[in-house]
Amino acid sequence: MVLASRYAYLAPKVFFHKGLLLRREGIMKLLGARDLDDLLFKLGETSYSPYLKEMRHPVSSRAIECAIRKSLVDTIYDLKNVTPSGPPREVMDSLLKRQAVDALKIILRAIIDGTINAIKEFYDPKAYVKTDWSSLIASMLEVEDLVRAISTISEIEPRLGKYVSQALRTYEELRDPIIFSIFLDKYVYDNLLGHLIKLKGNDKRHCNRLLGVLIDMYNIMTVIGGVYRGLPQEVLDRSIVSGYYMISRDLLESMVKSKSVLEAIEIFSRSRLSSELVRLGLRYIGPQDIPTQIMRLLRARSESIITSLPFSVGVAVATSLLKEFEVRDIALIASAIEARVKRAVIVENLIYM
């Protein structure tokens, strides 16, 4: 009862945000949109309506995604504020920072590609005030030089700066921009792991079932992607986050040494995570299927944990992930409609299939 009382303020917030989720039926309704204007109209009938009021025409998929991501930030922030202080709240703060890091990945890539001016209109620093990194994002949007961008990050967020500085050195050697995404994600999951290991009881059990698998997914896809792009083994070794939940360290190290993507996937197939996917009918054919199926597994686990008693921080994490997957599916539908992709192809890649 003592543990449950710690989460007395969280319970009503979880029920509130759970009630706002579109679920599969809502996603399928959006999937029926004729074009982006129709999608915008359908979204206007949901809880996303307040975030779409300033949408300018003509509508683009990127504009829709950036708008609805503000809702995701607000949801995680709302849940974080009623989560007990200490490791539980630090876990939620890590999930909040993860949203800002996703924006930084896109901004850094735009700086490398020389397209920063083309994305400025989509990224409103005010949308990230609740992550405490709005000033960082605002500063980054005004930078056009990569070295200056890394310096800006280091000045404003020194700990993150260590990761991007390492990424810059590696990028100067390999000239592959994916390096920045890898090291920014590594920052997120190293940080998250540091808080996860401090949790106890149901907090730890529930979060390991969700965020532990999220860390596994980062490690697996970083290695498979790195093997595909021909990244050196030492770079992949440095990229791995040292949390192993449903794939062992030995298997990951073997994947790093793989000579091909097929070999890496074959090694992954020996993991507990792969066995769990197969057991649940979440089969994968190629590397592009793996993250989708892992997220479907996480969706199922989140829906189970969200109704678990006694309450734990895992319930807040589960609610946040369900919201994230919903936003991801809406963004996918928007980009697919814009590209005129067939409905059947979209469905294959939805988390809420």
pLDDT in tens, 206-251: 999 999 999 999 999 999 999 999 999 999 999 999 999 999 999 9
Question: What's the confidence (pLDDT) of residue 4?
Answer: 55
Task: Give me the mean pLDDT over the 315-335 stretch.
Answer: 97
Interval 105-125 mean pLDDT: 95
Query: How many C-beta atoms surround the C-beta of residue 279 within 10 A?
Result: 9
Range of the domain at 99: 2-349
Which residue do the tokens 């794939």 mark?
A: 247
- Cα separation of 242 and 216, whole Å? 10
Question: To the nearest whole number, what is the mean pLDDT of the chain?
Answer: 95
Average of pLDDT values for 292-310?
Answer: 93
Q: Looking at the predicted structure, is the pLDDT value of residue 2 above 80?
A: no
Q: Please state the pTM of the whole predicted model.
A: 0.95
Angle between helix 10-20 and 313-339 (nearest 10): 20
In Å, the largest CA–CA distance within the chain is 56
With beta carbons less than 8 A apart as the criterion, state whether 236 and 183 touch: no
Compute the average pLDDT of residues 165-188: 98
Give CA–CA dist 344/102, Å, rounded: 28
Q: Is 86 helix (H, G, I), strand (E, B) or coil?
A: coil
pLDDT band at 1 (very low <50, low <70, confident <90, very high): very low
Q: Tell me, what's the pLDDT at 141? A: 97
Residue 100 C-alpha from the chain's centroid: 10
Coil, strand or helix at 270: coil
DSSP state string for 59-90: P-HHHHHHHHHHHHHHHHHHHHHTSPTTHHHH
- Residue 196's pLDDT is 97
- Structure tokens, 44: 């206007």
User: How many structural domains compose the chain?
Assistant: 1
Per cent of the chain over pLDDT 70 is 99
Structure tokens at 53: 């009021």
- Token reading at 307: 């109704």
**pLDDT for residue 122:** 92
